[in-house]
C-alpha cells in the first residue's frame, strides 16, 4: 500500500463559525509547522455562510478538506464523520470557535509520541476565560459525569484531544459521544493521559450550548455510559492455536 500523504489529521466540527475559521486555520498551520497534516472541517449544516467560507479557504489551502453534512446532525456526528475521513495515524479534535489554542497541540502529540502505549492525550483547561456562571456549570457537570460513569476526568468539557485514529474509529457512536471520549477509550482498554491546555475567550459568534440544552442530554448520556461500563465485555485470550 502507498504511504499516506499525511500522518496527522485535525478534525474541526463547524456549526455557524464563519468568522472564526480563517484565523483558526492560520493558527493551525503555524502550530503544526513541518508536520504532514490535513485539516478536516466538517460543516454541520451551518446557516451563517460557514460552508461557503470553507470552500473559499479550500482554494487557498491544499491541506484543508471540507466535509458537508446534509442536515444538522450534532457535534458527535460531525466528529465521527471527521474520523471516517481522516487519513492520519493520529486525529486531533478541537472546537472551531477559537477557544482552544492550536499552540497546545504539539504538547498533546509529544505525549503520544513519547509513549506508544497511550491511546489518547486529552486536554484539560487551565486559566479558563469563561464567566463564573459557566465555570460553575462546568464544575458541576464534571462532578456528575464522573460520579455516574465511575471515571475521573479532569475536564470532560474540553474538546482538545489527540487520539490514535484506529482507537477513535473503534469507539461506540451515539449522540453526545463527544463528551465521553476518554471514558469510552478506557472502556475499550486504552490508556489516556491528561495534559494542561490554555483557554481563550470566543472572538466571534455565540456559543451553541446553554445550561438548559446541555444539562439533561448530558445527564441521560452519562447514565447510558454508566450502563455500558457495567455491561462492557472484558476477556483475555490465553492463546490461539491454528
pLDDT tens for each residue of 62-111: 999 999 999 999 999 999 999 999 999 999 999 999 999 999 999 999 99
* Residues in contact with 239: Cβ distance below 8 Å, sequence separation at least 6, in sequence order: none
Segment 6-28 shows an average pLDDT of 97
SS3 at position 106: helix
Pairs from 152-158 (Cβ < 8 Å, separation ≥ 24):
153/122, 153/124, 153/182, 153/183, 153/194, 154/124, 154/194, 155/122, 155/123, 155/124, 155/125, 155/194, 156/180, 156/182, 157/125, 158/100, 158/122, 158/123, 158/124, 158/125, 158/197
Closest CA to 151 of 96, 102, 190: 190
Question: What is the four-CA torsion angle of 56, 59, 61, 64, rounded to 10 degrees?
Answer: 70
Segment 7-35 shows an average pLDDT of 96
pLDDT tens sequence across 36-48: 999 999 999 999 9
- Helices then strands, counting H and E runs in the chain, come out as 8, 7
DSSP-derived letter for residue 162 is E
> Looking at per-residue confidence, does 208 or 115 come out higher?
115
Average pLDDT, the chain: 87
Segment 6-27 shows an average pLDDT of 97
Closest CA to 37 of 59, 4, 83: 4
Which range has highest mean pLDDT (168-172, 175-179, 221-225)?
168-172
Which pLDDT score, from 0 to 100, does residue 181 have? 93
**Dihedral sign computed on CA atoms, order 197, 202, 207, 212:** positive
Is residue 199 predicted with pLDDT exceeding 80? yes
Segment 151-168 shows an average pLDDT of 89
Segment 10-34 shows an average pLDDT of 96
**Measured at the alpha carbon of residue 221, what is the angle toward residues 117 and 167, in degrees to the nearest 5?**
20
Is residue 144 predicted with pLDDT exceeding 70? no
Which pLDDT score, from 0 to 100, does residue 228 have? 75
> Looking at per-residue confidence, does 83 or 138 come out higher?
83
pLDDT tens sequence across 212-233: 555 667 667 777 777 777 777 7
CA dist 16 to 44, 52, 134, 197, 211, Å?
A: 8, 11, 21, 24, 19
Domain 8-231, what architecture? Alpha-Beta Complex (3.90)
> Looking at per-residue confidence, does 201 or 105 come out higher?
105
> Looking at per-residue confidence, does 14 or 175 come out higher?
14
Which pLDDT score, from 0 to 100, does residue 1 have? 52
Amino acid at each position: 500500500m502507498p504511504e499516506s500523504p499525511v500522518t496527522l489529521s485535525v478534525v474541526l466540527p463547524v456549526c455557524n463559525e464563519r468568522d472564526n475559521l480563517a484565523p483558526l486555520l492560520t493558527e493551525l498551520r503555524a502550530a503544526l509547522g513541518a508536520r504532514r497534516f490535513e485539516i478536516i472541517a466538517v460543516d454541520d449544516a451551518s446557516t451563517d455562510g460557514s460552508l461557503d467560507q470553507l470552500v473559499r479557504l479550500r482554494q487557498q489551502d491544499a491541506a484543508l478538506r471540507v466535509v458537508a453534512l446534509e442536515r444538522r446532525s450534532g457535534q458527535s456526528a460531525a466528529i465521527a464523520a471527521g474520523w471516517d475521513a481522516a487519513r492520519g495515524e493520529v486525529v486531533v479534535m478541537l472546537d472551531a470557535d477559537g477557544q482552544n489554542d492550536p499552540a497546545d497541540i504539539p504538547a498533546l502529540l509529544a505525549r503520544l509520541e513519547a509513549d506508544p502505549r497511550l491511546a489518547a492525550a486529552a486536554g484539560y483547561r487551565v486559566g479558563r476565560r469563561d464567566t463564573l456562571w459557566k465555570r460553575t456549570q462546568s464544575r458541576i457537570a464534571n462532578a456528575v459525569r464522573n460520579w455516574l460513569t465511575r471515571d475521573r476526568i479532569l475536564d470532560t468539557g474540553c474538546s482538545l484531544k489527540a487520539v490514535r485514529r484506529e482507537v477513535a474509529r473503534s469507539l461506540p457512536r451515539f449522540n453526545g459521544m463527544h463528551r465521553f471520549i476518554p471514558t469510552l477509550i478506557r472502556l475499550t482498554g486504552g490508556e489516556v493521559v491528561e495534559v494542561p491546555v490554555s483557554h481563550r475567550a470566543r472572538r466571534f459568534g455565540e456559543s451553541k450550548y446553554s445550561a438548559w440544552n446541555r444539562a439533561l442530554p448530558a445527564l441521560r448520556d452519562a447514565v447510558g455510559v454508566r450502563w455500558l461500563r457495567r455491561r462492557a465485555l472484558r476477556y483475555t485470550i490465553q492463546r490461539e492455536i491454528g
